[in-house]
Structure 1
């Protein structure tokens, strides 16, 4: 007679998976927990731009799983999942190891999709992981170095032209970031920063169309032109082929070519292959092939399996594929797993969309809070960083990264308290940004008080 296996296996260490594990540890879950991810480090994707441009360091944005889970009781396994057998309740890894489970959490997220555009996978740079950020940085620095050394104007123009494909939030954030820091990099090499050319190519007529950040479109369009170099926005332009030294796109029924040695792909994601391979009927998937789950985050056909994040769609509840959603779903899954282990009733997941945050260059961002309050520029940057830093996993890591950031961004930057103080304090109160909110509010109030005393 087989001995029952009482352990929970979490597949995927993104927001949904990692925070499920951390919440289970925090709630003293009575069963063993195994977290499996192919990467050594957790990637805080909303802040990957800050890691890319040097605003934040490795420990803040891509901390190691072992560090994050130290002392939690959660077992971390760095390996790639080869297959998932829902009937046998087993997860098989490429190393040959396998894990049986009493409960499974699917948190595999999504993967980059290239929409069958010729040469896109081979010649365009994705921006999804730490490795992507490192590869892109090295490539850009090499192109800038080559550009400053060439006397050929045409060649230099190609080297200094960067095309970002996709006008969603990722594309807008990438273009704004590039348009701010590439000129600084090039100037440091002795180049003329006005020669930097950043192009945002969007198949739709409007950027952020259909995106959760749609309310911030006007702010984003305005701020894109305020970068160190203005961004050229090509709308109604659909990429058709990407070559090592050019991108082809269709616009107004005509095929056009833009010479560039750097194309960055931010034009969409698709469901993870492992999710597609699961024996789940089309009736229990959405139009994007994501798994449908109940309000308690369980699969319809396999109630012992929970799922959250980008790989699922909740029945009768449309939610955007964002970090704040996955984070809250992880907490809900953990709560229901504990309830299940203790024989208690499961509760529907409660996810509150508190607003949207959009990076719009170095030290600038836009925030839409509860669709009632908008702020842009440096105050938006403070709100965005403060909000995200309170989501950094584990209290110790959160406090360390938070205090480092507050010291650098708030205490040492020359803010004009009369301009930003009131807005930041109000916004932080709305967001409820924890320790960052307290520190930022206190500091700005002190600055305001000091200013009044000098007057």
Structure 2
């Protein structure tokens, strides 16, 4: 294990997703400037809300997955392309997969989440996900194959009718143009259980128009390469299965073992671990039981800005202020050129909502210059 010294008074960030990257950029803007180190194994930041448009080629890869070297260039942030495997908060060190050990003055854990198969047999080996660029490429190949084969009984199954499952079902239906029957399976009693009623109604109508078969109150018990077992006892054949039913935090080993809440790091309203206040945590790895914030990109980004302020306050021996989430509404893609949005006093659906959604997300890309570049490309038709 190689001991690697970091600059004095450094802030170390584990994970460069929405929360971690926003925090790093916010810290880099503070005065006086302080060393910021980001440890992130991927080469590219992934703007997941636009994976659907990458799948349909309505957006280009550089708009959805910009390189970290471009986002962090000339911002005074040191990027280490590695993965943190363990954290020792007593010694104030982190160890990485490449065998390095770094000492930190202040630490932010923002390592995000991954798919959760809930231990259901066959999911890991037989299901696709929809969380990264590899998933998009695999789905594109599957779509091309189904369109080429023109099978009479082809079917695709999506498990999980939250935002990812619903948005993906609408987009796949448009891309497949009737070449495969789409099934959307949801264990609960409704699609989009946490969404506003307007968005839920518009999504249900969009699924019905596209002839997507929705199976509510249906649980998956096992998955094989060609079929899916359900609690109803009636297996469902498939030519492809996409799993969007849940996620779990990507946590390195932490010692001493921290307090947990709902399977995540328990944090206080100031975004600090409840039993290790020298460590901050945001995004999908954290849970504040007094304030159950949703696991969304807008929460993580707002936490990124807030935690940068709290870190600065802590450095100045001031008490960090509590995080206050500002709900800016929900926007859902409902197929090619279609969307629905609710929030900030607005309810809107259709092509105009799609344009507003796209423009809004592009301007929220971490790193304003990239967002403006992407918005300009859209306005000029690329």
On whether the aligned pair clears a TM of 0.5, the verdict is: yes
In structure 2, list runs of 5 or more residues that go unmatched.
none
Q: Secondary structure at the match of 2:157?
A: strand
Q: Is the 8 A contact 1:213 1:358 kept in 2?
A: no
Q: Does 1:377 align with 2:380?
A: no
Matched with 2:62 is 59
Counterpart among 268, 287, 307 of residue 246 in structure 2: 268
Matched with 1:133 is 136
Q: Is the 8 A contact 2:90 2:256 kept in 1?
A: no
Q: Secondary structure at the match of 1:177?
A: helix
In structure 1, list runs of 5 or more residues that go unmatched.
149-155, 184-193, 410-455
Q: Using a 3 Å threshold, how does the CA distance of structure 1 residues 352 and 80 change in structure 2: closer, same or farther?
A: same
Q: Secondary structure at the match of 2:145?
A: helix
TM-aligned CA deviation for residue 223 of structure 1: 1.4
Q: Using a 3 Å threshold, how does the CA distance of structure 1 residues 379 and 3 change in structure 2: closer, same or farther?
A: closer
Counterpart among 179, 202, 223 of residue 206 in structure 2: 223
TM-score by length of 2: 0.93
Pairing 1:77-156 to 2, within 5 Å after superposition: 77-145=80-148, 147-148=149-150, 156=151
Matched with 2:367 is 394
TM-aligned CA deviation for residue 343 of structure 1: 3.9
Matched with 2:168 is 174
Q: Is the 8 A contact 1:212 1:320 kept in 2?
A: no
TM-aligned CA deviation for residue 60 of structure 1: 0.6
Matched with 2:222 is 241
Q: Is the 8 A contact 2:188 2:216 kept in 1?
A: yes
Out of 217-226 and 8-17, give the one that drifted further.
Answer: 217-226
Q: Aligned residue pairs: how many?
A: 378
Q: Does 1:76 align with 2:79?
A: yes
Matched with 2:276 is 302
Q: Secondary structure at the match of 1:114?
A: coil
TM-aligned CA deviation for residue 272 of structure 1: 2.1
Larger Rg: 1
Q: Distance in 2 between matches of 1:264 and 1:4?
A: 44
Describe the superposition over 1:226-258 as per-residue Cα deviations: whole angstroms up to 9, x where unpaired: 33xx2111222211111111222123xxx1122
Q: Distance in 2 between matches of 1:28 and 1:141?
A: 52
Matched with 1:421 is none
Pairing 1:416-427 to 2, within 5 Å after superposition: none
Q: Secondary structure at the match of 2:323?
A: coil
Describe the superposition over 1:140-194 as per-residue Cα deviations: whole angstroms up to 9, x where unpaired: 323332x14xxxxxxx235x311111111111011011011122xxxxxxxxxx3
Q: Distance in 1 between matches of 2:107 and 2:245?
A: 31
TM-score by length of 1: 0.79
Q: Using a 3 Å threshold, how does the CA distance of structure 1 residues 28 and 60 change in structure 2: closer, same or farther?
A: farther
Matched with 2:187 is 203
Matched with 2:236 is 258
Higher relative contact order (CA 8 A, sep 6+): 2
TM-aligned CA deviation for residue 82 of structure 1: 1.6
Q: Distance in 1 between matches of 2:191 and 2:359?
A: 26
Q: Distance in 1 between matches of 2:227 and 2:130?
A: 19
Q: Distance in 2 between matches of 1:3 and 1:171?
A: 42
